Amino acid sequence: EFNDDESIGTDSILSLYEYGAMSSDDFECNSESDNTCNYDSEKDPEYTPNQVYSKLNEDSDIDDPVSKEDLPTSIDNNIGYLVDAINIENNIGYDNIILTDTCSTGSNKKRRITPKEKTRKRTRNVENWLDVKSKAKLNYGVEHLNRKGQIICAKKMGLPCPMTCRLKCHGNINYEERYNLFQLYWNLENRSRKWDFLARYVKVSGTKQAIVLKEFSRRKFSRKYFLIVKNKEIQVCKKMFLNTFGISEKVVNTICKKLEDSPTINADMTGKHKNRPHTIPCEVKQFIREHINSFPVVDSHYTRNKTDKKYLEANLTISKMHRLYLEWINEKPVETLTKNATLRQYTDVFNEFNISFFKPKKDLCDVCEKYKIAEPKEKEEQQIQYDEHLFNKEVVRRIKNADKERASIEPGFCVAVFDLEKVLTTPQGETSTFYYKRKFATYNFTIYDIGKREGFCYIWNESDAKRGANEIATCLYMFLKQKKDDGIQEFSFYSDNCGGQNRNRFVFAMWEYAAYKLKIKITHRFLEKGHTQNEGDSMHATIEKTKKGKTIYVPAQWVTLVQCAKVKGAPYSVKEVSNKDFLDFKHIVNNSEYNWKLASNGLLVKWSCVKEIMVTFECPFQLSIKYNLNITDDTITISLQNKKNRGRHQPHCGPVRAYDKPFPIEKLKLNDLLSLCNTGLIPTVYHAFYKSLSSSPA
């Protein structure tokens, strides 16, 4: 016999003599290849910048599909109903769910929600919110923590009524039948379903017998409680009823009160009020999206193959875009509410887009970061690779430092680093309309002579040439000829590992041709991936600092700005490279008389793995390469002559002119530039330059 104040937990063993319920334990939550370098520059040597510009695609509200893995396993399916209801309320959908935005204008716009799309900020995952998880567990009677950090115990089925019960309930229903009803009730997905469930078991009627006068009686009705077992209603006492479902009398009072007003119980509206003053109106969102879509964007300059993120001009900010939006929206005949969109509202909509303002040059090394965040066991597996990576970084830096010391005391030796600066665009300025137009690209290839601390800039624009291997090789060849005239006999170059511009056969062909033609020795080493910071970065930083606040209308003004960028010391040496100056070194590589495949040891050459290449005029048609800088005898020789020509005199094949006419630019870009001329935002004196440009079909 049980005492009235006893209750059995859910972890109790089922038996004929014990009553129990579900334990909270049952509901425990189980909560390169270097030729595709992605950190320094474009991987495609033939990349054409005027194909980069595009308008942003139609955006959509995105959230990842609902995941129920961290919810109680025994009630997975039911919790899904609750999470679904939350997601629908917050416009969060699964794959291929189509939502409809209805604006004040009366137009409907269907947007397909796809969780694969990315946004600027991580989107909210409502199902992972602690409050939502806590509500789900509360609904299913699972042990959980509330907002105050207090442990709320799991719901337990109470003891039956005592043996002295007038209705003899304990003899009419056994433990298993009560337990099934307990589980059925607590597995219902929301409070409304629970109310409907209990309403079937409670019958309210007037009092049959009044012991005191009606005017003094507080009792206005009587309740009868029933439990349905095998489709048969069994009347039970209130204690048996409440204890069977593990609820208080307050729940029954709420149900009866709701039934007084209506024959059916209305849905639970807790937390579903419409008083949300900070919700962004639909029409405001649409105008903000339209404004953001009006800005031209470009792909990432350094990580195109790793991210789909697009980039706006570096001198834009969200605040500046919001100010431009207020000017833009004031010109439209819309309601005042729309015109008064706040900065916070604009920011919230902006974060729906996968766009940013800066083209990030990656400062963090992938190998180092991967090792840094790895678990202890993973670190053991990565240790050899990581140690080798750090060793290679130090080796190439020690060699470079030794070259710097040598260059400071040996006048016939030059050590230099080179890189292509990020794109310089025109027109450039603070005029608001400039931000909405496609820009004309100008390229600046920089070489820094570390020994003499001299900077050299080679500048051209997108109508003159591209920014691939031929362009880089041509600029390097010009530098070699200039330095040769100054008496330099030996060169040591350092660069990043970009396969499209620096580490490729076309640049190597130029090294060999220049060494033979100019009677010099050239060594080119590649800095360790992820640690390519070098002295030449100071040139880019100086130019970027100088251009702030300046207005640039035509590429020629970039030349003047770069010439004046360095205030202390000798100014940068700037050369404008025209269309006819560029040489085609691919002509040498494609010559059938040359061997670019096999090394002298008979193995295929792995050009993308080269760490060092050396050429000298004393050994024409010969390259010496290394795959590893820390091994002194790892030199591999490559004879560029085919076997049939070895031992014979073979004239050197030289480069030819790369381009015979200027490049056309994108039609839409030219239209944007001419529109700036027509509106007077570009001064008349510069109109002739833009009108001389030709365009290609869109």
Mean pLDDT per block of 10 residues along the chain (698 residues) reads 37 32 35 37 39 37 38 40 41 36 41 52 78 87 87 90 89 90 90 88 79 67 88 90 91 87 78 72 89 82 60 85 90 73 90 77 76 89 92 94 95 96 92 90 97 96 95 97 96 93 94 95 94 92 91 95 92 96 93 89 92 93 91 85 69 90 94 94 95 85
Token code pair at residue 378: 């993973």
Can you give the residue ranges of every domain in the chain?
27-31+43-145, 163-209+219-261, 283-356, 366-662
Sign of the dihedral defined by the CA atoms of residues 44, 48, 49, 54, in that order: negative
* pLDDT value at residue 282: 86
Residue type at position 55: K
CA distance 120 to 347: 11
The torsion angles phi and psi of 169, rounded to 5 degrees, stand at: -60, -40
* pLDDT value at residue 216: 62
Contact yes or no for 9/20 (Cβ under 8 A): yes
* pLDDT tens, residue by residue, 633-672: 689 999 998 776 665 666 788 899 999 999 999 999 999 9
694 contact partners, CB below 8 Å, separation of at least 6: 463, 662, 664, 665
- pTM, rounded to two decimals: 0.60
CA distance 2 to 518: 106
Residue 34: CB atoms within 10 Å: 19
CA distance 154 to 137: 9
Q: For the chain, percent helix, then strand, then coil, each to nearest 5?
A: 35, 15, 45
Contact yes or no for 442/423 (Cβ under 8 A): yes
* pLDDT value at residue 359: 54
Contact yes or no for 166/222 (Cβ under 8 A): no
* pLDDT value at residue 644: 67
DSSP letters spanning 388-451: HHHHHHHHHHHHHHHHHHHHHH-TTEEEEEEEEPPPEEESBSS-GGGGGS--EEEEEEEEEETT
Residue type at position 474: T
- What's the Cα-to-Cα distance from 243 to each of 1, 6, 256, 348, 611, rounded to whole Å? 16, 11, 18, 49, 78
Closest Cα partner for 319 from 296, 350, 290, 286?
350
Token code pair at residue 436: 């909405």
CA distance 477 to 479: 5
DSSP class of residue 491 equals: E
* pLDDT value at residue 108: 42
* pLDDT tens, residue by residue, 171-195: 888 999 999 999 999 999 888 888 8
Please state, rounded to an integer, the average pLDDT across all residues of the chain.
Answer: 80
